[in-house]
Amino acid sequence: MTVLLDAGVALVNATTPGHDGTDPVGAPTGRELQEAVRDALTRDDYRPTVSPATAALLAGVAADVRAVYVAAASGDLDAAAARVNDLLERTEARPRLIHTETGWDLHFHGPDQTVARGWAAGLAAGLALALGSDRGGRLGVCEAAPCDRVFTDTSRNGGRRFCSTRCQNRVKAAAHRDRSRP
At residue 54, the pLDDT reads 97
Does this model's pTM top 0.85? My answer is yes
What confidence score (pLDDT) does residue 165 get? 93
Mean pLDDT of the chain: 93
Q: Count CA within 13 A, CB hemisphere, residue 111.
A: 4
Which domains are assigned to the chain?
Answer: 2-139 (1.10.3300.10)
pLDDT > 70 in the chain, percent: 100
Pick from 70, 50, 48: which is nearest to 59 by CA? 50
pLDDT at 62 over 90: yes
Coil/strand/helix, residue 111: coil
Report pLDDT for 64.
97
Q: Inform me whether the pLDDT recorded for 180 exceeds 90.
A: no
Helix intervals (H) in the chain: 2-15, 30-41, 52-73, 77-91, 115-131, 165-180
Contact 125, 4 (CB under 8 A): yes
Q: Which residue has the higher pLDDT, 42 or 177?
A: 42
Per-residue pLDDT, 19:
97
Band of residue 167 on the pLDDT scale cut at 50, 70, 90: very high
Indicate the burial class of 103 (C-beta count within 10 angstroms; 0-12, 13-18, 19 or more): exposed
Indicate whether 148 pLDDT > 90. yes
Compute φ and ψ for 83, nearest 5 degrees: -65, -40
Higher pLDDT among residues 143 and 108, named by residue = 143
In sequence order, what DSSP letters do the residues of 132-171 get, joined into one string?
Answer: TTTTGGGEEE--STT---EEE--SSSS----SSHHHHHHH
Provide the greatest CA pair distance for the chain: 64
How far apart CA 66 and CA 180 sit, in angstroms, is 37
Dump pLDDT digits (tens) for 6-55: 999 999 999 999 999 999 999 999 999 999 999 999 998 889 999 999 99
- CB 109 within 8 Å of CB 96: yes
Region 61-78: mean pLDDT is 97
